[in-house]
Chain A
Amino acid sequence: IAGITQAPTSQILAAGRRMTLRCTQDMRHNAMYWYRQDLGLGLRLIHYSNTAGTTGKGEVPDGYSVSRANTDDFPLTLASAVPSQTSVYFCASSTTSGMNEQFFGPGTRLTVL
């Protein structure tokens, strides 16, 4: 693994189903983030984690949950998907040393029907 990876690349999901998007980084970054990207709305923060064991809510957290059991992994779960959650989801990570550059994964394109 090099950098930050996400899985799956894309997914079509029936409304009401549960879905977990995976994110893994090998850069030993303390902080990780989940964004959704929607046309005309830009990138909006869903949840974040400043260090393993802690998480926080972003701008649009409703309908999503996260966990941070270790430094490398930061899965995003949709407990019961709805069509408005159709989006492209990006995971990112950064150090907490002050430089704040975030490194992004390739994204997951999710369609909820």
Chain B
Amino acid sequence: AQRVTQPEKLLSVFKGAPVELKCNYSYSGSPELFWYVQYSRQRLQLLLRHISRESIKGFTADLNKGETSFHLKKPFAQEEDSAMYYCALSGGSGGSNYKLTFGKGTLLTVNP
């Protein structure tokens, strides 16, 4: 069974401070990991995925298979980063592995 754990329901930081949203996963195969973001009154949208190894809006996330983690980081938080963040796992392409398993989400608040 696959599982995604986001240990922090709420995270509050000040503008300009570093931020790290934690995500740990459990999966027996080679997973694909994603971060989705939901800004206030907007639909969920993909922020980044581990296979792209990209930085989006200053956020990065590195897949650490040894620690089974995919933490989301940003060195200097901005007020517009305030949103709900979901970590998600897919078992990869093929068969029934298109489904995503989501964590419970972390609500990030960036204070001025």
Q: Please classify the interface of chain B as helix (H, G, I), strand (E, B), loop, or mixed, using the class held by over half of its residues.
A: loop
A100 near B32: Cβ-Cβ < 8 Å: yes
Complex: chain B residue closest to A33, CB-CB: B99
Please, which residues of chain A bring their CB within 8 A of the CB of B93? 96-100
Instruction: Name the CB-closest residue of B to A38.
Output: B104
> Which residues of chain B come closer than 8 Å to A102, judged between CB atoms?
46, 100
0/1 string, B71-112, CB within 8 A of A gives 1: 000000000000000100010111010111111110000000
Report A83-113 CB contacts with B as 1/0, cut-off 8 Å.
0000000101010111111101111000000
Given A40-B104, A98-B93, A100-B90, A90-B98 contact (CB < 8 Å): no
CA distance A98 to B96 in the complex (A): 11
Complex Cα gap A91–B41 (Å): 16
| CB closest residue in chain B, given A92 | B44
Interface: A65 (CB within 8 A): no
> How far is A102 from B105 in the complex, measured between Cα atoms in Å?
17
Number of interface residues of A (CB under 8 A): 27
**Choice from B6, B9, B49, B98 contacting A31 with Cβ under 8 Å:** B98
The answer, yes or no, to whether A45 is at the interface (CB within 8 Å) is: yes
User: Which of these, A35, A97, A101, contacts B49 with CB under 8 Å?
Assistant: A101
Q: B43 at interface (Cβ–Cβ under 8 A)? A: yes
Question: Roughly how many angstroms separate A99 CA and B50 CA in the complex, as a whole number?
Answer: 11
Q: Pick the contact of A101: B9, B46, B94, B104 (CB < 8 A).
A: B46
The answer to whether A43 has its CB under 8 Å from any CB of chain B is yes
The answer to whether the Cβ of A77 comes within 8 Å of any Cβ in the partner chain is: no
20 contacts between A and B (CB under 8 A): A35-B102, A42-B86, A42-B104, A42-B105, A43-B102, A44-B102, A45-B99, A45-B100, A48-B98, A48-B99, A50-B96, A50-B98, A96-B93, A98-B94, A99-B93, A101-B46, A102-B46, A104-B44, A104-B45, A105-B43
Chain A positions within 8 Å of B, measured between CB atoms, are: 31, 33, 35, 40-45, 48, 50, 56, 58, 90, 92, 94, 96-102, 104-107
